[in-house]
């Protein structure tokens, strides 16, 4: 037992150190302008997409329910947050550095409210109703955002300009926020999945009737996983809005929802590290293939079909890549080698 | 006061009376059999007792209180746990986690403790792991604790299902054909296990089973269902010599 705890402690340490190194390297590259504006922006986008994929994985991977309107929650979070910062930063109540974290929470909460409202009817039913209802929600919310009576909040298709950090004086700010949130989201969805709460959600995925019979409040946990995912998508929406500086409803359309879903499916449903890897690759790849941007959705479709044909469980399946374990293995191999060498 | 008592229990499925006038009475720590031909309504009785279906008439009292209208998870927490005729394990989860799902209703910590791994998380999870391993040891399954449930051989899957139900610390355990698909040796072992469970955990057991040697060997009293109605109840000897039962079931 003590040994296990020590090992867990060591794993935490290794993970923290590796994350800190990654953070520092990227931060220096971005704030020192070694990476140009364009690629710094891509790094921030990667963080945001990882957040989105990991959050969707909570529902699609861990709970096992398809969601086709994740971008809808992003949209709601983005507009809520943008309006907040527009108000408080413009009148000088607070700086964006203080306002953005608050705006992210607001964006998350508003998205969570929508999650509850949609989730309660959709999740009471067995089967894939969630997919259809979230699909409808995503489309409705996007059309609504264009509606004239919401113009004061959304500015419709013209787009709403959002407060951003000055790229000239502080190019690293947005990265810091995005990276910290990403790290936090990865950690909590990992720990959530390995707790009594996550275990309940996984049990529902495996067998809803048996889970209910074993004392799991299935309605509550389905809703919880879904609303948590909605909350995180709202936060991601807030980050996204303040990163690109100009939002309009078309940025949160069905294609966006599908993109996020593909990241989860490709990475392996239920695998957080899979989501991280595929979100990273699928953000960089289109940038490298800029010239083929018209064919991006086509490329996605082809990749998806190939995965479905040859590896239906996704890149990693439900497997998690653990860096500390990898390090552990390498060290042990060395130890072993050393021992055999002695003998 | 009986542990469980049903009165005049009945349910209708689309005009078909699947169960009618079912009276059951189970005292604490009793082992009771529920037998009858296929389609007699045995599993339906379990589904009514565990809240999967709501009866169209009658009463169910558990420890003196009505449980009608309660959801399955609430009934589990009150103290009735079950297994399924067709095994329903959490296949992709480990054996240990299967047990923990049922156990964790007694080992609570909030979601913040879970996400940030605060002391309550460590404390309750450690206790749960210990208890779950203890339970697995009783069933000689401690060495498969980390295996995925779907990788277990059939007999062990059946055992795991019983074990998982026990992990919820029920006062009444409902076993739906636990010996189905088992060979005579395994069935005999199961009989011993059922007796042992009652002694160790102090639970009452209601057992649906087709294997007569098992039912007659282990049950103190037996109820016989036929076409949704009770046609007999009594000790194994009484049931064995009951004309109606022989005609409907045993002789058939
Ligand atoms: N959900 C249901 N809807 C309709 N009929 C059902 C349902 N559940 C059970 N029945 C019917 O009730 C009868 C009893 O079934 P069951 O309890 O499974 O029998 P047993 O377990 O004794 O073999 C059968 O005729 C079955 O078809
Ligand atoms: Mg049956």
For the sheet with B221-226, list strands across it: B80-82, B172-176, B204-208, B31-35, B221-226, B229-234
As a whole-number percent, the residues of chain B with pLDDT over 90 amount to 93
Q: A23 pLDDT exceeds 80?
A: yes
Q: Which atom of ligand 1 is nearest to the CA of B45?
A: 17
User: Would the CB atoms of A215 and B168 count as touching at under 8 Å?
Assistant: yes
Q: Provide mean pLDDT across the span B185-203.
A: 94
Distance CA A94, CA A86 (A): 11
The CB density around residue A94, as the number of other CB atoms within 10 Å, is: 13
The CB density around residue B31, as the number of other CB atoms within 10 Å, is: 22
Gap from CA of A105 to ligand 1 centroid (Å):
50
Of A14, A31, A41, A60, nearest in space to A262 by CA: A60
Q: B235 vs B3, B45, B215, B218, B224, CA distance in Å?
A: 19, 20, 11, 11, 11
Token duo for residue B191: 């009989």
Token duo for residue B2: 């009986």
Domains in chain B, CATH or no CATH each: 4-79+169-250 (3.40.50.300), 86-152 (no CATH)
Of A1, A206, A217, the CB nearest to B91: A206
Distance CA B115, CA A191 (A): 5
What are the percentages of helix, strand and coil residues in chain B, rounded to 5? Answer: 40, 25, 35
pLDDT, tens only, A216-244: 999 999 999 999 999 999 999 999 999 99
pLDDT at A4: 62
Q: Which of B104, B113, B116, B146 to mutate to test the interface with A (most CBs of A within 10 A)?
A: B104
CB-based burial, B91-113: b 16+ in 10 Å, e otherwise: ebbbbbbbbbbbbbbebebebeb
CB of B13 closer than 6 angstroms to any ligand 1 atom: yes
Distance CA B14, CA B91 (A): 33
Q: Provide mean pLDDT across the span A257-283.
A: 91
Cβ-Cβ contacts under 8 Å, A54 against chain B: none
Residue A115 makes CB contacts below 8 A (sequence gap 6+) with: A73, A226, A227, A229, A230, A231
Residue A331 lies in a domain: no
Pair B34, B44: CB distance under 8 Å = no
pLDDT at A337: 55
Of B102, B219, B205, B80, nearest in space to B160 by CA: B102
pLDDT at B198: 95
pLDDT at A333: 66
- What is the Cβ-side half-sphere exposure of residue A208, based on CA atoms within 13 angstroms? 15
ipTM of the complex: 0.95
CA angle B65, B67, B70 (to 5 degrees): 140
pLDDT, tens only, A148-160: 899 888 998 899 9
Distance CA A250, CA A143 (A): 9
Residue A7 lies in a domain: no
Of A212, A125, A124, nearest in space to B84 by CA: A212
Instruction: State which of A269-283, A308-322, B108-122 shows the largest mean pLDDT.
Output: B108-122
Residue A304 makes CB contacts below 8 A (sequence gap 6+) with: A262, A265, A266
CB of B242 closer than 6 angstroms to any ligand 1 atom: no
Nearest C-alpha to atom 10 of ligand 1 is from which residue?
B18
Residue A336 lies in a domain: no
pLDDT at A24: 96
Number of structural domains found in chain A: 1
Give the containing element (helix H, strand E) for B232: strand B229-234
Instruction: Name the residue of chain B whose CA is nearest to A317's CA.
Output: B92
As a whole-number percent, the residues of chain A with pLDDT over 70 amount to 94
User: Would the CB atoms of B90 and A1 count as touching at under 8 Å?
Assistant: no
Gap from CA of B52 to ligand 1 centroid (Å):
13
Q: Across A105-162, where does the E strand assignment appear?
A: 160-161
Q: Which atom of ligand 1 is nearest to the CA of B42?
A: 22
Round the average pLDDT of chain B to a whole number and report it. 95
Q: A2 pLDDT exceeds 60?
A: no
Q: Provide mean pLDDT across the span A61-84.
A: 96
pLDDT confidence tier of residue A312, bands split at 50, 70 and 90: confident
DSSP, residue by residue, B5-55:
EEEEEEEEETTEEEEEEEEEEE-TT-EEEEE-STTSSHHHHHHHHTTSS--
pLDDT, tens only, B16-33: 999 999 999 999 999 999
Residue A21 lies in a domain: no
Token duo for residue A24: 């520092």
Q: Provide mean pLDDT across the span A153-175.
A: 91
Looking at per-residue confidence, does A302 or B123 come out higher?
B123
Residue A35 lies in a domain: no
pLDDT confidence tier of residue A341, bands split at 50, 70 and 90: very low
Of A185, A206, A179, A229, nearest in space to A318 by CA: A206
Token duo for residue B68: 């009608």
Residue A330 lies in a domain: no
pLDDT at A1: 47
Pair B50, B43: CB distance under 8 Å = no
Residue A26 lies in a domain: no
Residue B25 makes CB contacts below 8 A (sequence gap 6+) with: B2, B4, B5, B6
Instruction: Name the residue of chain B whose CA is nearest to A192's CA.
Output: B115
Question: Which ligand sits nearest to residue B44's alpha carbon?
Answer: 1
For the sheet with B57-62, list strands across it: B16-26, B4-13, B57-62, B65-66
Domain carrying residue A185: 40-269+276-325
Cβ-Cβ contacts under 8 Å, A215 against chain B: 73, 76-77, 102, 105, 168
pLDDT at B160: 97
Residue A61 lies in a domain: yes
Looking at per-residue confidence, does A14 or A315 come out higher?
A14
CA angle B118, B124, B130 (to 5 degrees): 135
Q: Across A277-335, where does the E strand assignment appear?
A: none
Q: Between A and B, how many residue pairs show a Cβ–Cβ distance under 8 A?
A: 97
Distance CA A187, CA A201 (A): 17
Count Cβ atoms within 10 A of the Cβ of residue A339 and give its class: 0-12 exposed, 13-18 middle, 19 or more buried.
exposed
Pair A218, A50: CB distance under 8 Å = no
pLDDT, tens only, B72-129: 999 999 999 999 999 999 999 999 999 999 999 999 999 999 999 999 999 999 999 9
- Output the 3-class SS for A6-20: HHHHHHHHHHHHHHH
pLDDT at A334: 61
Q: A106 vs A70, A99, A100, B42, B162, CA distance in Å?
A: 17, 10, 10, 53, 47
């Amino acid at each position: 037992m003590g040994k296990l705890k020590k090992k867990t402690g060591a794993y935490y340490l290794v993970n923290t150190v590796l994350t800190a190194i990654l953070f520092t390297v990227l931060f220096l590259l971005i704030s020192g302008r070694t990476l140009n504006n364009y690629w710094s922006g891509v790094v921030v986008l990667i963080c945001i997409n990882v957040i989105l994929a990991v959050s969707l994985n909570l529902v699609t991977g861990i709970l096992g329910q398809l969601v086709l309107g994740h971008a809808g929650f992003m949209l709601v979070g983005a507009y809520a947050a943008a309006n907040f910062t527009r108000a408080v930063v413009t009148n000088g109540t607070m700086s964006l550095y203080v306002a953005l974290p608050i705006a992210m929470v607001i964006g998350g909460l508003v998205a969570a409210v929508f999650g509850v409202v949609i989730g309660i009817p959709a999740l009471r039913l067995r089967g894939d109703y969630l997919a259809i209802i979230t699909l409808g929600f995503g489309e409705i919310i996007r059309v609504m955002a264009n509606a004239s009576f919401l113009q004061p909040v959304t500015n419709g298709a013209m787009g709403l300009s959002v407060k951003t950090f000055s790229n000239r004086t502080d190019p690293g700010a947005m990265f810091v926020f995005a990276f910290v949130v990403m790290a936090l989201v990865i950690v909590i969805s990992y720990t959530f999945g390995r707790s009594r709460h996550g275990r309940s959600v996984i049990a529902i995925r495996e067998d809803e009737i048996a889970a209910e019979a074993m004392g799991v409040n299935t309605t509550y946990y389905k809703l919880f996983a879904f609303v948590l995912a909605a909350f995180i998508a709202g936060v991601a929406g807030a980050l996204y809005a303040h990163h690109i500086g100009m939002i309009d409803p078309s940025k949160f359309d069905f294609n966006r929802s599908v993109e996020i879903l593909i990241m989860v499916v490709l990475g392996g449903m239920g695998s957080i590290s899979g989501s991280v890897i595929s979100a990273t690759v699928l953000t960089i790849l289109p940038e490298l293939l800029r010239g083929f941007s018209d064919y991006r959705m086509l490329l996605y479709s082809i990749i998806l079909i190939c995965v479905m044909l040859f590896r239906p469980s996704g890149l990693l399946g439900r497997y998690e890549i653990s860096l500390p374990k990898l390090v552990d293995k390498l060290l042990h191999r060395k130890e072993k080698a050393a021992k055999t060498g002695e003998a | 006061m009986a542990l469980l008592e049903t009165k005049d229990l009945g349910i209708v499925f689309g005009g078909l009376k699947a169960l009618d006038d079912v009276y059951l009475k189970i005292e604490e720590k009793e082992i009771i059999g529920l037998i009858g031909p296929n389609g007699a309504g045995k599993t339906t009785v379990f589904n009514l007792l565990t809240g999967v279906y709501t009866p169209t008439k009658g009463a169910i009292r558990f420890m003196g209180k009505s449980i009608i209208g309660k959801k399955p998870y609430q009934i589990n927490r009150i103290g009735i746990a079950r297994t399924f005729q067709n095994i329903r394990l959490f296949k992709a989860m480990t054996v240990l986690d299967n047990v923990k799902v049922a156990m964790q209703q007694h080992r609570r910590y909030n979601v913040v403790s879970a996400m940030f791994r605060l002391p309550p998380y460590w404390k309750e999870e450690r206790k749960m792991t210990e208890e779950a391993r203890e339970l697995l040891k009783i069933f000689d399954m401690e060495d498969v604790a980390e295996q995925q449930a779907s990788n277990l051989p059939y007999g062990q899957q059946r055992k795991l299902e019983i074990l998982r139900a026990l992990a919820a610390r029920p006062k009444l355990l409902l076993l739906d054909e636990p010996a189905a698909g088992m060979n005579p040796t395994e069935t005999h072992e199961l009989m011993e296990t059922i007796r042992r469970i009652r002694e160790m955990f102090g639970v009452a057991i209601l057992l649906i089973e087709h294997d007569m040697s098992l039912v007659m060997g282990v049950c103190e009293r037996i109820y016989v269902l036929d076409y949704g109605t009770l046609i007999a109840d009594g000790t194994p000897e009484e049931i064995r010599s009951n004309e109606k039962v022989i005609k409907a079931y045993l002789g058939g």
